[in-house]
């Protein structure tokens, strides 16, 4: 059976539950360390919620399953087959308010904490660097523990055209740095053109924070 196959044969043990088995297989198929799939509710599992003894169980998900919201899961056990309605949610790392934050507030590092939250939609700010958020102005108030959405932040310009910045290139454990000049304004997370002051060549870099840009390559240098 190939690693990407949607069919799973599992040996049931007395201490295993149907929920844990479905979650285990769903997370193995998703294969994303940033995300954990959780079963919220199962319908049609009467008599199966406390699986005991030993048996050969097949769990099959729909092709292209994204484990978001309502889905159908097929079980085969001891010659019988049953379809279940399963409600999934994803737990992903997200930035949430450490305390109540007011509309118009300029975000600081201590205003936010990263924690797993349940999201029934594609990833948003969970993978963003904190440096891309700090300094932004909140467009809406947030309650303590509420997830921060990208559209709720007005990001300020942190690099100005003509400004000298530190340009860095990472290659494994090696870090190369040089001085460059911004050729355009940029907000954290933006890609902007730069001039390498040592060679005069143009490069493109991603703004990390005020005065710091990360380049994908560095002309004339091998990291």
CATH number at residue 206: 2.30.30.760
Residue 124 shares a structural domain with residue 72? no
Q: Is residue 70 part of a domain?
A: yes
- Among 90, 112, 130, the domain-final residue is 90
User: Is 60 exceeded by the pLDDT of residue 48?
Assistant: no
Q: Which domain holds residue 103?
A: 93-154
Could you give the number of structural domains in the chain?
A: 3
Residue 79 shares a structural domain with residue 119? no
Residue 147 shares a structural domain with residue 173? no
Residue 56 shares a structural domain with residue 97? no
197, 213 Cβ separation under 8 angstroms: no
Q: Which pLDDT tens digit goes with each residue over 161-196?
A: 999 999 998 877 888 888 999 999 998 878 899 998
Question: Comparing 42-46, 86-90, 124-128, 164-168, which segment has the lowest mean pLDDT?
Answer: 124-128
Rounded-to-integer distance, Cα 29 and Cα 156, Å: 39
Q: What is the pLDDT of residue 8?
A: 45
Top mean-pLDDT range of 40-54, 157-171, 208-222: 157-171
* Higher per-residue pLDDT: 46 or 215: 215
- Among 154, 174, 202, the domain-final residue is 154
Residue 112 shares a structural domain with residue 64? no
Average pLDDT, the chain: 80
Max Cα-Cα span within the chain: 73
């Amino acid at each position: 059976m190939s690693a990407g196959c949607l069919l799973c044969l599992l040996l049931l043990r007395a201490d295993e539950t149907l929920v844990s088995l479905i979650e285990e297989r769903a997370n193995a198929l998703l294969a994303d360390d940033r995300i954990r799939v959780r079963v919220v509710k199962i319908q049609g599992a009467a008599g199966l919620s406390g699986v005991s003894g030993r048996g050969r169980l097949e769990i099959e998900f729909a092709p292209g399953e994204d484990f978001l919201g309502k889905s159908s899961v097929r079980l085969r056990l001891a010659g019988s087959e049953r379809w279940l309605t399963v409600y999934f949610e994803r737990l992903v790392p997200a930035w949430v308010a450490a305390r109540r934050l007011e509309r118009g507030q300029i975000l600081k590092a201590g205003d936010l904490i990263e924690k797993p939250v349940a999201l029934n939609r594609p990833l948003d700010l969970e993978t963003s660097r904190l440096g891309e958020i700090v300094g932004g102005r909140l467009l809406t108030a947030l309650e303590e523990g509420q997830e921060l959405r990208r559209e709720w932040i007005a990001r300020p310009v942190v690099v100005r055209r003509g400004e000298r910045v530190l340009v860095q290139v990472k290659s494994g454990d090696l870090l190369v740095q040089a001085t460059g000049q911004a050729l355009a304004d940029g907000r954290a997370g933006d890609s902007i053109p730069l001039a390498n002051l040592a060679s005069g060549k143009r490069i493109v870099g991603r703004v990390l924070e005020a005065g710091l840009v990360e380049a994908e390559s560095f002309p004339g240098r091998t990291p």
